[in-house]
Amino acid sequence: MLGPRQQDNPEPPSPVAEIHVGRDGWLFLTGGSNRVLTQFGRPGIARETLWLWRKHLADRCRRSRRLGATYLHVVAPEKLTIYHDAVDGLVFDPDRAPALRLRRWLWGSPGARAFVDLVGPMRAARWQTPLYRRTDTHWTFEGCDLAYRTILARLGVAPRDDIAARRLPHSLPYLGDLAAKLSPAPVETVEECRFETQAQRIYANSLLAHFEALGQPREAHIGAHAIFRNDDPQADPRRVVLFGDSYCEHGPMYALGVLTPFLADTFREVHFLWSTSIDWDYVASVRPDFIISEIAERFMIEPPIYGMRIDALAELAMARKGAG
């Protein structure tokens, strides 16, 4: 059984209200604007919110079928949900994780068939290999690979088994998004998550292009839009439209495993839109074979909106960042 490795920085960090330092240096997000820990309590996420999610997923399934596409809904679990047994000193109920509650609320709904359960597979594998960075809220390469394989199994698509063999063999020091809030900030040494691929990005919207020109691509969050093309003869010839967040991303990341590069390596064409809502006009224009929505578990507290347009979302994001 594989346990978590000790932090490279031996000095214990000072506590921060929204970050919990667990066993063996594992860091957990407990606060923030989404009040993560309270989502595991009572009442947790409101029943009205779960009911809205149920209605949204049923509607997404119906609309996808009318377009001839298969729809899947993926919740990226919180680290608290998966590594709950590495949390010391917190009282919470991991069985009230929002993803698990949504799964129960979908019982008997058309949306139940679209829901991808990552909690079960990740809990089963959590100590075989680290699935999350110890100092970050996001996945390792192995965690993303498990999510990728679970998603493709639901689509009935064979995964690319050679991706791990194509990883770039580099190690680097990494300061995770949780570690950056602590003093001193614990740094961990990680293995590169990028890999060689024939997938090429063929489109980036103005929001993404603007921040890339400034050398700040990670500032392009909500509203970012990218398209990838893969002419590898082994690529699945079908097309995917992927709505997601930082667990997907609009390009590869050095230290974190993210879904978009995995899917772009697998399918002929992948369209990524950074949004938790669906732009149905865009989907209708692309006519994909598969529609996948991914959302971080902590963001489930805010139900998606109807009528979202990615162009309008990008314009709003540019204006908010003072880049318009």
Instruction: Render pLDDT for 36-59 as a digit per residue (tens, 0 to 9).
Output: 999 999 999 999 999 999 999 999
pLDDT category at 86 given cuts 50, 70, 90 is very high
Q: pLDDT at residue 5 above 70? A: no
Most confident of 6-10, 216-220, 288-292: 288-292
For residue 48, the surrounding DSSP H or E stretch is: helix 47-66
Contact call for residues 71 and 64 (beta carbons, < 8 A): yes
Q: What percent of the chain has pLDDT over 90?
A: 91
Calpha distance 166→1 (Å, rounded): 26
Of 225, 231, 257, which Cα lies nearest the Cα of 243?
225
pLDDT of residue 250: 96
Contact call for residues 113 and 65 (beta carbons, < 8 A): no
Average pLDDT score over residue span 222-242: 98
pLDDT category at 322 given cuts 50, 70, 90 is confident
Q: First-to-last CA distance in the chain? A: 51
Contact call for residues 250 and 220 (beta carbons, < 8 A): yes
Q: Which of 20-24, 196-200, 266-270 has the lowest mean pLDDT?
A: 20-24
Q: pLDDT at residue 16 above 60? A: yes
Instruction: Render pLDDT for 112-145 as a digit per residue (tens, 0 to 9).
Output: 999 999 999 999 999 999 999 999 999 999 999 9
Helix, strand, coil content of the chain in percent (nearest 5): 35, 20, 45
Contacts of 196 (CB under 8 A, 6+ apart): 166, 168
Tell me the domain boundaries of the chain.
46-132+140-160+197-320
pLDDT category at 12 given cuts 50, 70, 90 is low
pLDDT of residue 15: 60
pLDDT category at 8 given cuts 50, 70, 90 is very low
Instruction: Render pLDDT for 190-207 as a digit per residue (tens, 0 to 9).
Output: 999 999 999 999 999 999
Calpha distance 63→287 (Å, rounded): 12
